[in-house]
């Protein structure tokens, strides 16, 4: 594996190889689809792979809970992991970033996801029961700073060396469209810059070439090389993390609570407009 993104040809050639684990990290309406890439296991962000005791959805579980979940899914420390989702590149990037935040670098996102796989006429199978194979040996080794809290983001907003980028749509960022989660304020953090995650993808749902990604991040972040990434609930911020990684950025953090935390009525500042 040469980077955080692999194509369908790469996966087709290796599907079923020893040590390769394929995860379906679909959420929402795509979760539990009736078909999957053969042998794919569920990386359930709406279920066990989020901390449901936290106030914000899709919060990262503890290192111990993540270790146990990966072992139950048969992941070894020496495994190679490919993650996809049913949209293209949406929630798969969140699974990739979680693995990376827990010290696991042998993971990649499938470019174009399940839509690209099926459009190419590649085989699928009926989605079966939950994974029932042998336990793995995975051990989480958390990387401090990969996932950050609201206090860290608040400080970053006034740090001239840091760019806080928001992956939500332009309308949600401006506060002209309602938030999908009830009770949240509209708008954005003062000093944040909008970079909708869809801008990093082509019409087929694949990531744009590295040169185009570099241009997009340079336009949003200027000369700043540390990026803090936010979105609605910490999912599509990870698409920005994937794009930034492909563009050559190395100093990255994802705001785990994202707007689901910041947008709750509180003393945290919110502004509207572009």
Position 32 in a domain:
yes
Statement: residue 129 has pLDDT above 90: no
Q: What is the mean pLDDT of the chain?
A: 96
Statement: residue 87 has pLDDT above 90: yes
Residues 170 and 252 in one domain: yes
- Averaged over 49-70, what is the pLDDT? 93
Q: How many domains is the chain partitioned into structurally?
A: 2
**How does residue 5 score in pLDDT terms, banded at 50, 70 and 90?**
very high
For 195-209, what is each residue's pLDDT tens digit? 999 999 999 999 999
Residue 240 structural domain? 147-262
Residues 222 and 163 in one domain: yes
Residues 174 and 116 in one domain: no
CATH of the domain at 159: 3.40.250.10
Query: Residue 221's closest CA among 273, 168, 166, 153?
Result: 166
Cβ-contact 254, 241 below 8 angstroms: yes
C-alpha to C-alpha distance for 180 and 234, rounded to whole angstroms: 14
Statement: residue 32 has pLDDT above 90: no
Active site residues: 231
C-alpha to C-alpha distance for 4 and 210, rounded to whole angstroms: 12
3-state helix, strand, coil in the chain (%, to 5): 30, 15, 55
Instruction: Dump strand ranges (E) for 116-269.
Output: 125-126, 147-148, 162-166, 193-194, 226-230, 251-255
- pTM (2 decimals)? 0.97
C-alpha to C-alpha distance for 185 and 179, rounded to whole angstroms: 7
Residues 151 and 116 in one domain: no
**How does residue 56 score in pLDDT terms, banded at 50, 70 and 90?**
confident
For 201-255, what is each residue's pLDDT tens digit? 999 999 999 999 999 999 999 999 999 999 999 999 999 999 999 999 999 999 9
For 146-182, what is each residue's pLDDT tens digit? 999 999 999 999 999 999 999 999 999 999 999 999 9
Last residue of a domain, one of 97, 126, 155: 126
């Amino acid at each position: 594996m040469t980077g955080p993104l692999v194509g369908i040809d790469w996966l087709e050639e290796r599907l079923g190889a020893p040590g390769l684990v394929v995860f379906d990290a679909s959420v929402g309406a795509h979760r539990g689809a009736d078909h999957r890439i053969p042998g794919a296991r569920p990386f359930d962000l709406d279920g066990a792979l989020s901390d449901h005791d936290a106030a914000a959805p899709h919060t990262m579980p503890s290192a111990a809970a993540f270790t146990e979940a990966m072992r139950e899914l048969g992941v070894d420390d020496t495994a190679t992991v490919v993650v996809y989702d049913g949209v293209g590149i949406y929630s798969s990037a969140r699974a990739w970033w979680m693995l990376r935040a827990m010290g696991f670098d042998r993971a990649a996102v499938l470019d174009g996801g399940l839509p690209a796989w099926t459009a190419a006429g590649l085989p699928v199978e009926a989605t079966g029961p939950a994974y029932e194979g042998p336990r793995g040996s995975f051990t989480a080794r958390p990387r401090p700073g990969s996932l950050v809290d609201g206090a860290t983001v608040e400080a970053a907003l006034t740090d001239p060396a840091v760019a806080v980028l928001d992956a939500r749509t332009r309308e949600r960022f401006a506060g002209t469209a309602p938030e999908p989660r009830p009770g949240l304020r509209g708008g954005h953090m003062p000093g944040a810059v909008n970079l909708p995650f869809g801008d990093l993808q082509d019409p087929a749902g694949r990531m744009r070439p590295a040169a185009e990604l570099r241009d997009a991040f340079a336009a949003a972040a200027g000369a700043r090389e540390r990026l803090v990434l936010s979105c609605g609930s910490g999912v599509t911020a990870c698409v920005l993390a994937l794009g930034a990684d492909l563009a050559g950025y190395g100093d990255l953090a994802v705001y785990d609570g994202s707007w689901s935390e910041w947008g709750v009525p509180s003393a945290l500042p919110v502004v509207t407009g572009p």
